[in-house]
Amino acid sequence: MAALAATLSTPFDREFLEETAIPPCQSGELETTVDAGGHGMTVRLPWRLLGRPGLPVLLVLGGINSGRKLESWWSRQVGIGRSLDPTRFRLLSVDWADSEQQRQSPLLTQDQAQAIEALADHLGIQRLHGVIGASFGAMVGLALAERDRLFIDRLLLISGAHYSHPAATAARHLQREIVRLAEVAGLPRTGLALARGLAMSTYRTPELFAERFNETDAVDRLQSLESYLGHVGHQFARRYEADQFLGLSEALDLHQVDPSRIRVPATVVGVDSDQLVPLTQIRALAEGLAGPVALDVIQSRYGHDAFLTEHLRISKILNACFKEKTHATA
């Protein structure tokens, strides 16, 4: 165990391995070229592969604020004995592909999919037991399936659809304008923090806000909200650069796939309170897919963030989709 831990790339990886007895972990960064609207852009794709060779591979993709370290954003699902058990599956995850040129042309979901295809080729993975995508990750999963360069046994798509809903696009447009104005003022981090705070008002439901910020005094309630939004905003601003945020935000709004071209068996999951990807859109996606489809609706007060908070419901869905250990390929 100590020898294996010493080969891992970061202290975080070593600590996670030592504390949880997780099987072998590989990580790295791939440089590859994607189409990027005909510009032929070079991108960097940080990746991690958790679990021993020979197990069926699951590609796990979250929202724009997720990343390759699954236990940092989906800790209740990842681990021995949990739904995403690295003794049963090999878990492939990525940070979103990034490029210094993306102000010239944003990296679309198809470009993210193309980079992942190059990564799979680099790692010798020819078949994916499943692609699990939530939010932006579901959009990239759809792009992967539409491109049809990798063999995928099953798609699990949570709170992501075949295009961006106009209401969600409107909210993100305003977030990007805030960041651009803040850049002009020389305050890019402040702009990122404000944009993230505004986004939180669309991720969660009005009912949840009312429950969490229930102070009877208006001054106390305002101060509590200001403190919360400031905290989540500044956390986000420490992690992202303005260019990276603007590119990912625009990629969400430019996302478009044709469900009728996707024949991979799929489970599509929607949340009844999701303001960004409403159930009408989730149902339209399920009806439009060409392959076998199962539709699952989660009732939750957490809105778009339900995939991060409804741990038991999500665990049951994961277990139902990937209970069989077949198709060992990498």
Confirm whether 274 is a catalytic residue: yes
Rounded distance between C-alpha atoms, residue 15 and residue 107, angstroms: 33
One domain for residues 263 and 120: yes
Asked if residue 268 is part of any domain, the answer here is yes
CA atoms within 13 Å, Cβ hemisphere of 318: 24
**Other CB atoms within 10 A of residue 259 CB:** 22
One domain for residues 196 and 278: no
Res 19: pLDDT: 45
Q: Give DSSP secondary structure letters for 256-315.
A: B--GGG--S-EEEEEETT-SSS-HHHHHHHHHH-SS-EEEEEE--SSGGGHHHH-HHHHH
Under 8 Å CB-to-CB from 222, ≥6 apart: which residues? none
Asked if residue 147 is part of any domain, the answer here is yes
Q: In this structure, what token pair is assigned to residue 269? A: 């999951």
CATH at residue 185? 1.10.1740.110
Rounded distance between C-alpha atoms, residue 321 and residue 228, angstroms: 36
Asked if residue 326 is part of any domain, the answer here is no
| Active-site residue, selected from the candidate residues 93, 99, 135, 300 | 135
Res 96: pLDDT: 97
Res 321: pLDDT: 96
Rounded distance between C-alpha atoms, residue 184 and residue 318, angstroms: 45
One domain for residues 240 and 106: no
Asked if residue 198 is part of any domain, the answer here is yes
- Residue where a domain terminates, one of 250, 272, 291: 250
One domain for residues 244 and 284: no
Contact criterion met (CB below 8 Å) for 31 and 37:
no
* 294 CB-contact burial (10 Å; exposed 0-12 / middle 13-18 / buried 19+): middle
One domain for residues 27 and 136: yes
The runs of H, that is alpha helices, within the chain are 2-6, 11-20, 70-73, 109-123, 136-147, 166-184, 188-203, 206-212, 218-239, 242-254, 279-288, 306-309, 311-321
Say if strands 130-134 and 151-152 run parallel, antiparallel, or are unpaired. unpaired
Each residue's pLDDT, cut to its tens digit, for the chain (330 residues) gives 333 333 344 444 444 444 445 568 999 999 999 998 778 899 999 999 999 999 999 999 999 999 999 999 999 999 999 999 999 999 999 999 998 876 677 899 999 999 999 999 999 999 999 999 999 999 999 999 999 999 999 999 999 999 999 999 999 999 999 999 999 999 999 999 999 999 999 999 999 999 999 999 999 999 999 999 999 999 999 988 999 999 999 999 999 999 999 999 999 999 999 999 999 999 999 999 999 999 999 999 999 999 999 999 999 999 999 985 443 344
Res 22: pLDDT: 54
Res 287: pLDDT: 98
One domain for residues 89 and 176: no
Asked if residue 149 is part of any domain, the answer here is yes
One domain for residues 65 and 158: yes
Asked if residue 289 is part of any domain, the answer here is yes
- Residue where a domain terminates, one of 250, 268, 301: 250
Q: Which amino acid is at 155?
A: L
Q: Which amino acid is at 167?
A: A
H/E stretch holding 33? strand 25-34
Asked if residue 71 is part of any domain, the answer here is yes
One domain for residues 228 and 298: no
Asked if residue 111 is part of any domain, the answer here is yes
Q: In this structure, what token pair is assigned to residue 316? A: 């049951």
One domain for residues 25 and 123: yes
One domain for residues 74 and 172: no
Supply the DSSP symbol for 95: P
Res 314: pLDDT: 98
Q: In this structure, what token pair is assigned to residue 191? A: 């702009």
Range of the domain at 217: 166-250
Cα distances from 61 to residues 58, 212, 217, 244, in angstroms, run 10, 29, 41, 17
| Active-site residue, selected from the candidate residues 129, 162, 255, 304 | 304
| Active-site residue, selected from the candidate residues 111, 153, 274, 305 | 274
Res 316: pLDDT: 97
CATH at residue 297? 3.40.50.1820
Res 232: pLDDT: 94
- Residue where a domain terminates, one of 216, 250, 284: 250
One domain for residues 148 and 70: yes
Confirm whether 304 is a catalytic residue: yes
Confirm whether 201 is a catalytic residue: no
One domain for residues 196 and 302: no
Report the number of distinct structural domains present in the chain.
2
